[in-house]
Amino acid sequence: MRLFNQNFRARRNSAPKRCILVLMALAKRSSSKSGRGKHVRRSVTLPPKIAKQVETLAKKRDLSDNRVLVELIEQGIEARQQKEKAFFQLAERFRGADDPEQVRKLGDQLGRFVFGE
């Protein structure tokens, strides 16, 4: 067993271009009455450039790499939800528009939303 552990460590440390971080993400527990979430362990492989940025952010903010990753993921999920909400609000305005000029402008905005600029 000792030989296995030594070989594993040697192989793990011999891949400097790859960074593997373990992410503890919060998952909601449907059966929990206390409101506490259960931590779920996930293994995430990051490109070296991203891993360096995470490390830099963690050092600047005096947080662990793990905490920075969780915050970034939470912010990304929130941003996506806001973008989706904005899209549906725009679609609703488009459907309710009567003026042909407003319909054209809202249609153009929807197109940019879907296909980019």
**How does pLDDT run across 56-78, given as a tens digit for each residue?**
999 999 999 999 999 999 999 99
pLDDT digits (tens, 9 = 90+) for 78-91: 999 999 999 999 99
Contact 19, 48 (CB under 8 A): yes
The angle formed by the CA atoms of residues 20, 23 and 25, to the nearest 5 degrees, is 160
Contact of 44 with 50, CB cutoff 8 Å: no
**Tokens coding 54:** 């995470």
Using the predicted structure, report yes or no on whether residue 28 has a pLDDT greater than 60.
Answer: no
Strands (E) across the chain are located at: 19-27, 38-46
pTM above 0.75, yes or no: no
**Cα–Cα–Cα angle for 22, 25, 29, nearest 5°?**
140
